[in-house]
Structure 1
Amino acid sequence: TGGTLMGIARKLRELNPEIIVIGVEPTEQHHLSGLKNMRSQEKPDIFHEDELNEVVTVTDAQASYMTRALAEEEGLIVGMSSGAAAYAALTLVKKLDDGIVVTIFPDGGERYLSTDLFVGGSRKA
């Protein structure tokens, strides 16, 4: 996920140096597989935090909420990392007066089908 973000950020900045790149990370005590809190984990060599304009921290509850919302409202079965990315993207959209927000959904929701993530209609954030 970090490698994808770094590669896309570099390429987009070649095309437009004004692009703003925002990373998403879970809280330190998270349960989101696949995502790492970069303050508490060893950073991979490919990850360069100085290439990010901002990092948005997303809680487990926020990621779960958005993962269920994407399934219920958009028909997208995505994983918790994608739910976190979508939550952060929508948070940023609310702050913008003008512009375009693009996000990457790094995981699918197939492995969560055997859990209660998609069961019921509760989407509390």
Structure 2
Amino acid sequence: MEISQDSQVLKSLESLGQFVGATPLFEVQHLSPKPSVKIFAKMEWMQFGGSVKTRPAYNIIKGALKSGELGNGKTLLDASSGNTALAYATIGARLGIPVTICLPENASWERKKLLKGLGVNIVYTSKFGSSDESEAKAEEMYRNDPDKYFLANQYGNENNWMSHYQGTGPEIYGALGDQITHFVTGLGTTGSFTGITKYLKEQKPDIKAIGLQPDGALHGLEGWKDMETAKVPGIYDKAVVDEIKHVDTYDAYDLIKETARREGLLLSPSSAANLKGAIDVANEIDSGVVVTLFPDNAEKYSEIIKSLF
């Protein structure tokens, strides 16, 4: 029996699974404010695609191929401020799946260059509209030509948070178990927060889940959302949130320098912001284990790094 082209694509995708997830857990040894509080972070850039967004992109594509929504020459379409677009692009290039991304025009030149190099068709939206306008544009394009596109819809696709519920959460709990007292991460698509928190609370209900937000609508933390002014993602589960904390962009940028000098890591702004949130939590408790994510490193942020060092 002849194997269909789409079956071969799915088989190729599944062979990539060994390069998705299973990222190391890094102990932040010199920036925790108290010896009685340990801080750990998942180094999410150490997987195919180079960021935490590899997990949901892989899961979304896998689900769509299995359901038949993607394949038969369809183009994957979505809105993204950067890392999810790159994850779609790397997986799409590997599998021969065309990718179109609606991207705010003020995305970094490095992201634009990488996406073009990976063969992505970029549809730019206004730099004043953020990811919300890009999301609306992707929805419009899909409505106008539904036979051409598979709308991945990372903000509303259940396979986003499920990738963390099935992968990242078990990896964290498998490494640290009941030692974990707090989980802290930024809110963007909210997939990582929702999925990881749901899993951890099933294992240990008294774990505190703290969502991080920028301290205003105008901020420099790419991928983060100010929930009071932005469109709230459909996958966001407010019921699992124990507390919301705000992080100042400048504090995060300062921490990039300090983390480089004291921990030997060059972090992205969002990773540094997650670490700042974890340190703030550590300052407020007497003892415990605080876990966060490092979504990516500084490789795609040369303009910011040049300004800091």
Does 1:48 pair with 2:230?
A: no
Q: Using the alignment, how far apart are the partners of 1:31 and 1:118 within structure 2?
A: 14
Structure 1 residues 113 and 15: CA distance shift in structure 2, 3 A: same
How many Å separate the matches in 2 of 1:98 and 1:11? 23
Q: Map residues 1-125 of structure 1 onto 2, 5 A cutoff.
A: 2-28=190-216, 29-115=218-304, 116-119=306-309
| Separation (CA, whole Å) in 2 of partners of 1:81 and 1:10 | 22
**Conserved 8 A contact 1:86-1:103:** yes
Structure 2 gaps of 5+ residues are: 1-187
1:3 counterpart letter in structure 2: G
CA offsets 1:50-83 (integer angstroms, 9 cap, x no match): 3111111011111101122111211111110111
Query: Given that residues 78 and 109 in structure 1 are in contact (C-alpha distance below 8 angstroms), is that contact kept between their aligned partners in structure 2?
Result: yes
- Inter-partner Cα distance in structure 2 for 1:86 and 1:55: 15
Instruction: Spell out structure 1 runs of 4+ moving beyond 6 A.
Output: none
> Which stretch of the first structure deviates more once superposed, 105-114 or 21-30?
105-114
The structure with more radius of gyration: 2
Percent of aligned positions that are identical: 32
AA aligned opposite 2:228: R
Q: How many Å apart are 1:14 and its aligned residue?
A: 0.7
How far apart are the structure 2 equivalents of 1:117 and 1:32? 15
Q: How far apart are 1:38 and its partner, in Å?
A: 1.1
Q: Secondary structure at the match of 1:104?
A: strand
After TM superposition, the score normalised by the length of structure 2 is: 0.37
Deviations 1:14-51 (A, max 9, x none): 10111100011112221221111111111111112231
Q: Provide the secondary structure at the position in 2 that maps to 1:33.
A: coil
Is the alpha carbon distance of 1:56 and 1:117 closer, same or farther for their aligned partners in structure 2, counting shifts above 3 Å? farther
Letter aligned with residue 46 of structure 1:
I
Secondary structure of 1:57's counterpart equals strand
CA RMSD, 1 decimal: 1.4
Shift of 1:98: 2.0
Considering Cα pairs closer than 8 Å and 6+ residues apart, tell me whether 1 or 2 has the greater RCO: 1
